[in-house]
Structure 1
Amino acid sequence: MGNITIEAGQLIAAFIAALGIPGALMGIVVWRLEHKITKRDKEIDDRETAQEELWLLVIQSTGAAIALGEATAKAVQRIPDAHCNGDMKAALEYATDIKHQQKDFLAKQGIHALRD
């Protein structure tokens, strides 16, 4: 058999090349993981944004329903033949109270959001 001679430079180059392949594979694996994490984070952000928009619509709908109820109760109270009892007045007061509680709660939440 013949002797094979390898110089020190060739040995170092072969060693670096051998290390480079696993390093490149690991780089690809890490890149894919980062890509998946970034995609998942975006999906979570999109879901949170949609949920915030939904809550805003729910709050606006509640306010609209209360306003409609108040307007209807006041209009019925002005009809002379309607014979409104105390239930209409109590319901109107309750709706007004809830509307103010909701407004106070949302104002408080806004202040907390500013502090964070």
Structure 2
Amino acid sequence: MVIELSVGGLITLLGIPTAITAFCSWMLQRRITKREKAQEEREQAREQNEVLIIKGMGAAIALGEATAQAVQRIPDAHCNGDMHAALEYARKVKHEHKEFMTEQSVQALY
């Protein structure tokens, strides 16, 4: 039994699997692109969260320093040295954090 195909019929038969493969590749690429976009959005949200945490920590330290300084000004407040130590510790942590962030920003530049 001999099957006769014309050139047009042969091209059509070869084109169908190619078209299916191209369609599947396009669908896969589209899915990968969507996944990468979602991952990028999550990464941006994570970075925003870290910035807000850092700002919150700075605000908490500033509030602690202000409270410690206010309590020290009250003449009849008995701090027994704990407030002074806490104030020094808050300042130390604030400066360590500032130095760390400075190092990280320099490393990010280079």
Name the amino acid aligned to 1:21: I
Which structure has the larger Rg?
Answer: 1
Report the Cα offset of residue 51 of structure 1.
0.2
| Long gaps (5+) in structure 1 | none
Q: Tell me whether 1:75 sits opposite 2:70 in the alignment.
A: yes
Give CA-to-partner distance per residue, 1:36-72, whole Å, 9 cap, x none.
0000000000000000000000000000000000000
User: Percent identity, aligned pairs only?
Assistant: 53
Task: Give the secondary-structure state (helix, strand or coil) at the position aligned to 1:82.
Answer: coil
Q: Tell me whether 1:61 sits opposite 2:56 in the alignment.
A: yes
Q: TM-score, normalised on structure 2?
A: 0.93
Q: Residue 52 of structure 1 is aligned with which of 41, 47, 56?
A: 47
RMSD after superposition: 1.6
> How many residues were matched structurally?
109
| Long gaps (5+) in structure 2 | none
Name the amino acid aligned to 1:25: I
Q: Any runs of at least 4 consecutive aligned residues in structure 1 with deviations exceeding 3 A, and if so which?
A: none
Name the amino acid aligned to 1:29: C
